[in-house]
Amino acid sequence: MSTSRPHRPPLPRALALLALLLGTTAAAQAAGVGFRELALKDPVGGGAMTGLVFYPSSQTAEPLPLEIWRVDAGRELEPVPGRYPLVLISHGHGGSRWGHHDLATALAHEGFIVASLDHPGASYKDVDGPAAGTDAVWLGRALQVKALLDGVLADATLGPSVDASRVGALGFSAGGYTTLLLAGAVPDFGRLEKYCRAKKQTVLCGMLSKVRVTRSDLKDTAEPRVRAIFSMAPVGVFFDKAGLKGVKVPVRLYAAEKDEVLPVADHAGHVRASLPKRPEYTLIPRAGHYVFMAPCTPESAPEAQELCMDPPGVDRLKLHRELAADAVRFFTRTLAPAPVKP
């Protein structure tokens, strides 16, 4: 009796392979990166929420001067047809949707769609607003990223180009904490009070010594559609091993050796030791907290020294080229399409 498999027509196999290669082929044709803004609704406060989507484009544009940066993308350029994985970006406390534009454009150049947002209650525009220091902010962040994901998928222009089975998240500082929530982590806000009683002089405790519980209805911060996370200098004090046990997806974790805002031992290092599976981990020598933000223009650096200037021996431009290449490698591997069944 023969045990060989029945002959399968070659056409279905060829079509399946073509579907997998389409995004890669389209990315190879991309000449530049486009971006478009999304008008969204904040699922926490009910107000307006602004999203931003970067994508591979068949056109190029001159770099866009914006605030303290120069963004290598053009508004509403022609997208390259294809099906792409999606990476969601969450900014840090007081940040903006543009704060990691260089990583977003690097990913888009390599065949990703990338979406970011201004977190209501936690962006530069309203970081000191009435919700400051509440669970509406510290839990709401994850819910806002989930709404961003839904908004991108619903967008008539770019939604059809997203492979919803291939979604990752990237974040810095409070945004790095947000990626952990999306991956299944559960925070214990009482840990912050204990921490600040013991370490009153930390920058974090000067900004936030207690999280006020105002929204007991905010739950389900995990997002099962997120398959991998890239977390840079996350706020980690809210978690213990029990709070991180639900994180099952691949984790890429970065820390800055001289982090003056979130000391490594209490935050990124603590997360590293507490995750159920050791993450891929890199400690950046000599660097401070804000080294993970996009490099500033030379003209703006003196005016925003805390955000833009690094200690001697730290080359932020070089580091960000390495970060971008690593993010591309990490998400290419962890968001790879499911193999075609023979």
Hey, what amino acid is at 86? L
What pLDDT was estimated at residue 200? 75
d(Cα 280, Cα 186) in Å, to the nearest integer? 21
Instruction: Give the tens place of pLDDT for each residue, 277-307.
Output: 999 999 999 999 999 999 999 999 888 999 9
What pLDDT was estimated at residue 27? 54
What pLDDT was estimated at residue 202? 87
Count of CB atoms within 10 A of residue 286's CB? 13
Residues whose CB is less than 8 angstroms from the CB of residue 266 and which lie 6 or more positions away in sequence, other chains included: 195, 199, 202, 236, 237
What pLDDT was estimated at residue 13? 41
Instruction: Give the tens place of pLDDT for each residue, 122-163.
Output: 999 998 888 999 999 999 999 999 999 999 999 999 999 999
Instruction: Give the tens place of pLDDT for each residue, 78-105.
Output: 999 999 999 999 999 999 999 999 999 9
d(Cα 294, Cα 308) in Å, to the nearest integer? 8
d(Cα 27, Cα 300) in Å, to the nearest integer? 33
The CATH class given to the 32-334 domain equals alpha beta
Instruction: Give the tens place of pLDDT for each residue, 9-23.
Output: 333 343 333 334 344
Q: How many CA atoms lie within 13 A of 292 on its CB side?
A: 31
What pLDDT was estimated at residue 21? 39
What pLDDT was estimated at residue 301? 87
Work out the pLDDT band at 201, boundaries 50, 70, 90.
Answer: confident
With 50 as the cut, is the pLDDT of residue 2 above it? no
With 90 as the cut, is the pLDDT of residue 256 above it? yes
Instruction: Please tell me the least confidently modeled range out of 11-15, 77-81, 190-194, 338-342.
Output: 11-15
Residues whose CB is less than 8 angstroms from the CB of residue 188 and which lie 6 or more positions away in sequence, other chains included: 238, 239, 240, 243
- Percent of the chain scoring above 90 in pLDDT: 83
What pLDDT was estimated at residue 303? 85
Q: Are 41 and 151 in contact (CB under 8 A)?
A: no
Count of CB atoms within 10 A of residue 193's CB? 13
b/e code 296-322 from CB counts within 10 Å (16+ = b): beeeebeeeeebbebeeebebeebbee
- Which tokens in the block code for residue 298? 């030379």
- DSSP secondary structure letter of residue 328: H
Give the chain's mean pLDDT.
91
| pTM given for the model | 0.91
b/e code 239-248 from CB counts within 10 Å (16+ = b): beeebbeebe
- Percent of the chain scoring above 70 in pLDDT: 91
Work out the pLDDT band at 340, boundaries 50, 70, 90.
Answer: low
Across 212-228, average pLDDT: 95
The partner residues of 88 in beta bridges, in order of sequence, read: 115, 169
User: Which 3 state secondary structure label does DSSP give 123?
Assistant: strand
Residues whose CB is less than 8 angstroms from the CB of residue 50 and which lie 6 or more positions away in sequence, other chains included: 37, 38, 39, 40, 97, 117, 118
What pLDDT was estimated at residue 302? 87
Q: Are 172 and 293 in contact (CB under 8 A)?
A: yes
